[in-house]
Amino acid sequence: MKASQVIQILTKAIPQEIEWSVGEPYGPFGVDTESDVQKILYCVTPTPEVVKYFKKHKYDLIISHHPFVVGVPQIILHTSLDCCSGGLNDSWRDALGIQDAKHFDSSLGWAGKIPPIKFQDLVKKCGIFVGQDVIGQVHSDLDVIESVVVCSGLGGMVTDLARETGAQCYVLGEATESVKKMGFKAVIEIGHTLSERMGVNLIRDLLPGIQVCGAPLNIDVFGKETYLGKRRKA
């Protein structure tokens, strides 16, 4: 498939108009629109190690969630991917079984009721969805959870808005403070990158004729995340 077709498909399904963070890099960078694309590498963050991996394994295009331009053929999607139909927050809504779901700010995140579930079972459910144990902070004053609000990535930026939903439990990628101080009965901090890695699934669905791989978790990291399987203390 020509790169121009890939760009057209992705920017139509994941349009810039729905982005939550305005003014960030979006769309293609350094892409020869006439080039053939057969192998795509998806990552949350295009770290130097991810770029090396991209070159070593001879991928044709990198699709990154975070908006860092890295000097290889690249498409950046960031908060448009968070907010689009079938995007990151929709994936979390469906995985958690949120009923009568409502966005808590524009098209960001979802809040609503869930079938009653023990808190520890909800933590396990989140881990199953991301493919490994939750590595962030977890805390609950409740045995059973009946309502949640979810926001992938740096959900700690919008804690006040999430709290206004009245949900018992906040499921987010990364907090900006101790989860005991966030004002919820329960909090599950997934890990920033872990909460956004499933974006690769939508890219695969949109481009069924192209090989789309996710960057290895040990090199696809954001900020201070280490992903060594050690949970931070609340």
Q: Which residue has the tokens 């962030």?
A: 136
Superfamily of domain 3-82+197-214: NIF3 (NGG1p interacting factor 3)-like (3.40.1390.30)
Per-residue model confidence (pLDDT) at position 3: 98
- Structural domain boundaries in the chain: 3-82+197-214, 88-189
Per-residue model confidence (pLDDT) at position 225: 57
* CATH architecture observed for domain 88-189: 3-Layer(aba) Sandwich (3.40)
What average pLDDT values come out for the chain (234 residues) when binned by 10 residues? 98 95 93 98 97 98 97 97 95 97 91 98 96 90 98 94 97 92 95 94 97 95 57 41
The letter for the amino acid at 187 is: V
The letter for the amino acid at 61 is: L
Fold match between domain 3-82+197-214 and domain 88-189: yes
d(Cα 133, Cα 191) in Å, to the nearest integer?
10
* Strand 110-118 to 99-102 pairing: antiparallel
Per-residue model confidence (pLDDT) at position 232: 41
Question: Does residue 187 contact residue 179 with C-beta atoms inside 8 Å?
Answer: yes
